[in-house]
């Protein structure tokens, strides 16, 4: 029998012990005597969330394909086990070998959302690894971060030795080979980092220093060695068809959030929504070959036994061979009794026709993401979705038998007025009217159910809105109540339901999104006050965070509500995501003058991503 790091008495006391035992179908184990590099790949949240993430699966599969290297998984122990591990000083372990990760060479941590930052410290503490990179010598693992939040890694830079900027498929092998070379000649951390920092996409924060102005904005950055780059250009894999893809993903014993096969059909997005960070970070658009995707789908369903397959991309409707792929899947899956899930589809006749085939119309609801209620505001954010399109999509859906619609909006967008806010329930009301006009009385099965949800807009780095002023919590709450009041005036108010988020969490997210190196202290203090699993509302301790800002003498509003000048040096400016700051500024000014920019398919906006020598603009020119 495999050894387990936790005693039976612990496993039988905690919730969902199968989170911690490893041994799931398709896990990879290797003979330890043939391994030179041990890599622990961590998603700093609970198992069910971490196991649902495709990126980790890709990296797990890829790193394990390298010789001499064994990549294992580790997740944040849930609070019940966290307490026991601290009391009994049990070191955090990797799932496959159940060995303590402090004995590993690398601890990789994926950074998917800002509110996982305290969990990074949880993982380091439980692993008995020093929190600060400067305190870790050659006997401790190198801590490496990656994922969307590493595009502004500065708030957590002090905790990491390395950040990998960009897509993981390209440079990991080079990095690990370099480490292997250093291993064989006697590994000295500083010497390794110095050389690693010259690998494209690799950022070693300890080799750079930040100089601040008197007003706390950044004056300049200095580097420790002449040969390391001033700016780090993100890594992209230009041929997304011929690269790594996990054909045999690990199948969890317990139900996880994404309990299905995930087929990533493309990277990047042609739409230039001005609030959307992913839309800029993952440029240029790259499609996977449709025949390859068909093979992947069949192979992955067979290798996992999952009963559902889902397409993944930022905007599936923009995939050119979507129809061919979906028709293949419908045929393949009907036979095997497999469900198909198609998120991020634009609602049109094609989408409705497909959805009718893959789901139970009576039970499912239709999702629109207009993001803003008024057309003016949708132009400001460059959503490229008109009132007519929304109403026509709704009409088609009601004709097709749907009677539940979900609509997602943001409050606090730049330049928002009361009129824009009131347009949110107004739009819901318009959709309800379409229902009553379209569906004759005798065919109605109860009321139409329209759910309006708002989240609070958070300006993100590498978007045209990186210059935007974020609303305060009070403003957010006021706006939510304005939506509520306006809704009550609507004719079809009884057909509508309104949900909104708490503003406190959004405020913190806003701080860290555009934060700098001064924030690591705040994170550490908040963590010491018990903050952990901040994205779980039952564990979110906002007052502890406020105390932490206070004790660290850091003003959170410096990061959220301060007006940024056009020429301000941002903490993330040393990272080059392909899209230029000039382009972003141009788009910011277009937003302020309510000008729409066409998508990449219609006309190139010279965003800068064409330097990767791919994407629609490059293909169109050739």
Partner 1 sequence: MVFVGHLDLLRYFQKAFRRSLLDIRYSQGYNPHQVMSFAMPLGVGVKSNGEYMDVTMNSVTSSKDFVEALGAQMAEGVDIVSVVELDEDSKNAMTSVAGASYYVDYREGYQPDFDFEKEFTKFMEQDKILVIKKTKKSEKEMDLKEHIHDYRVTGNQAYVLVDAGSVVNIKPNQIMEAFYESLGKECGAFTFVYTRDDLFMRESEEGPFLSLLAAGKEFE
Residues near partner 1 (CB under 8 A):
1-2, 8-9, 11-12, 17-18, 21, 23-25, 251, 253-255, 301-307, 336-337, 360
From the list 463, 460, 471, 365, the residue with the least C-alpha distance to 420 is 471
Task: Work out how close the CB of 28 gets to partner 1 at its nearest, in angstroms, rounded to a whole number.
Answer: 13
Which one, 8 or 442, has the nearer CB to partner 1? 8
Nearer to partner 1, 28 or 303 (CB): 303
Residue with smaller CB distance to partner 1, 10 or 311: 10
259 versus 573: smaller Cβ distance to partner 1: 259
Residue 222, Cβ density class (10 Å: 0-12 exposed, 13-18 middle, ≥19 buried):
exposed
- Asked if 569 and 219 count as a contact pair (C-beta separation under 8 A), the reply is yes
Burial 168-179 (b: 16+ CB within 10 A, else e): bbbbbeebbbbb
Distance CA 502, CA 473 (A): 9
564 closest CA partner among 216, 279, 233: 216
Nearest Cα to Cα of residue 55 among 253, 233, 237 = 237
Instruction: Give the nearer residue to partner 1 in terms of CB position, either 1 or 567.
Output: 1
Helix 387-399 × helix 418-438 angle, to 10°: 30
Across-strand partners of 452? 407, 498
Cβ proximity to partner 1, 2 vs 86, nearer residue: 2
CB of residue 336 vs partner 1: minimum separation in angstroms?
Answer: 7
Q: How far is the CB of 16 from partner 1 (least distance, A)?
A: 8
Q: At its nearest, how many Å lie between partner 1 and the CB of residue 334?
A: 10
Residue 125 C-beta: closest distance to partner 1, Å: 25
25 or 211: whose CB is closer to partner 1?
25
Residue 23 vs 55, nearer CB to partner 1: 23
- The distance of closest approach from Cβ of residue 339 to partner 1 in the complex, given in angstroms and rounded to an integer, is 8
Query: What does the CA dihedral 186, 187, 193, 197 come to, rounded to 10 degrees?
Result: 60
Q: What does residue 406 show for φ and ψ, rounded to 5 degrees?
A: -115, 135
For partner 1, which is the closer residue by CB, 21 or 544? 21
* Cα–Cα distance, 146 to 196 (Å, whole number): 15
CB of 551 to partner 1, least distance (A): 41
CB of residue 400 vs partner 1: minimum separation in angstroms? 16
Q: How far is the CB of 10 from partner 1 (least distance, A)?
A: 10
- The one-character DSSP state at 365 is -
Closest to 375 in 3D by CA, of 363, 354, 399, 391 = 391
Q: Report the DSSP beta bridge partners of residue 211.
A: 220
Coarse DSSP helix, strand, coil percentages of the chain, rounded to the nearest 5 percent? 40, 15, 45
Bridge partner residues of 499 (DSSP): 453
Helices (H), 285-417: 290-304, 322-336, 349-358, 375-380, 387-399
């Amino acid at each position: 029998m495999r050894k387990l790091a936790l005693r039976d008495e612990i496993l039988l006391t905690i919730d969902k012990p199968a989170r911690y035992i490893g041994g799931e179908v398709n896990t990879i184990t290797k003979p330890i005597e043939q391994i030179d590099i041990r890599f622990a790949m961590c998603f700093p949240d609970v198992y069910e969330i971490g196991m649902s993430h495709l990126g980790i699966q890709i990296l797990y599969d890829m790193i394990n394909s390298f010789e001499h290297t064994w990549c294992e998984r580790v997740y944040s122990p849930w609070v019940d086990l966290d307490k026991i591990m601290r009391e009994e000083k049990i070191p955090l372990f990797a799932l496959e070998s159940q060995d303590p990760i402090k004995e590993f060479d690398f601890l990789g941590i994926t950074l998917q959302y800002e509110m996982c930052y305290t969990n990074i410290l949880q993982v380091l503490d439980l692993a008995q690894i020093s929190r600060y990179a400067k305190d870790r010598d050659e006997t401790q693992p190198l801590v490496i971060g990656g994922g969307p939040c590493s595009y502004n890694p500065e708030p957590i830079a002090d905790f990491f030795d390395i950040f990998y900027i960009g897509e993981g498929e390209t440079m990991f092998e080079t990095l690990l080979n370099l480490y292997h070379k250093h291993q064989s000649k006697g590994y000295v951390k500083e010497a390794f980092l110095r050389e690693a920092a010259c690998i494209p996409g690799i950022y070693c924060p300890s080799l750079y220093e930040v100089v601040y102005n008197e007003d706390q904005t950044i004056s300049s950055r200095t580097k420790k060695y002449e040969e390391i780059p001033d700016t780090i250009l993100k890594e992209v894999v230009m041929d997304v068809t011929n690269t790594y893809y996990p054909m045999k993903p690990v199948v969890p014993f317990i139900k996880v959030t994404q309990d299905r096969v995930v087929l990533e059909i493309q990277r990047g997005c042609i739409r230039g929504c001005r609030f959307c960070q992913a839309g800029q970070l993952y440029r240029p658009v790259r499609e996977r070959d449709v025949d390859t995707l068909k093979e992947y789908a069949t192979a992955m369903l067979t290798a996992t036994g999952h009963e559902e397959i889902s397409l993944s991309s930022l905007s599936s409707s923009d995939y050119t061979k979507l129809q061919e792929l979906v028709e293949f899947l419908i045929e393949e899956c009907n036979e095997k009794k497999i469900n198909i899930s198609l998120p991020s589809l634009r609602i049109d006749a094609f989408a409705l026709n497909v959805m009718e085939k893959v789901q139970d119309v009576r039970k499912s609801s239709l999702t629109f993401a207009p993001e803003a209620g008024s057309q003016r505001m949708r132009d400001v954010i460059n959503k490229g979705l008109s009132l007519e399109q929304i109403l026509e999509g709704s009409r088609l859906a009601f004709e097709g038998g749907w009677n539940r619609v979900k609509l997602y909006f943001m409050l606090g967008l730049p330049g928002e007025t009361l009129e824009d806010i009131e347009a949110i329930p107004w739009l819901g009301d318009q959709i309800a009217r379409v229902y009553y006009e379209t569906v004759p009385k005798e065919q109605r099965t109860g009321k139409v159910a329209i759910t309006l949800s708002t989240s609070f807009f958070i300006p993100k780095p590498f978007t045209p809105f990186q210059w935007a002023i974020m609303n305060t919590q009070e403003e957010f709450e006021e706006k939510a109540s304005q939506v509520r009041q306006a809704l009550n005036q609507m004719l079809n108010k009884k057909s509508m339901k309104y949900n909104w988020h708490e503003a406190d969490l959004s405020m913190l997210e806003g701080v860290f999104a555009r934060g700098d190196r001064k924030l690591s202290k705040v994170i550490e203090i908040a963590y010491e006050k018990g903050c952990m699993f901040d994205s779980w509302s039952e564990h979110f301790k906002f007052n502890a965070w406020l105390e932490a800002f206070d004790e660290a003498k850091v003003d959170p509003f410096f990061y959220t509500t301060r007006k940024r000048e056009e020429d301000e040096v941002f903490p993330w400016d040393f990272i080059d995501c392909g899209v230029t700051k000039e382009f972003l500024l141009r788009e910011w000014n277009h937003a302020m003058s309510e000008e729409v920019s066409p998508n990449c398919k219609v006309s190139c906006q010279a965003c800068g991503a064409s330097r990767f020598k791919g994407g629609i603009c490059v293909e169109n020119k050739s």
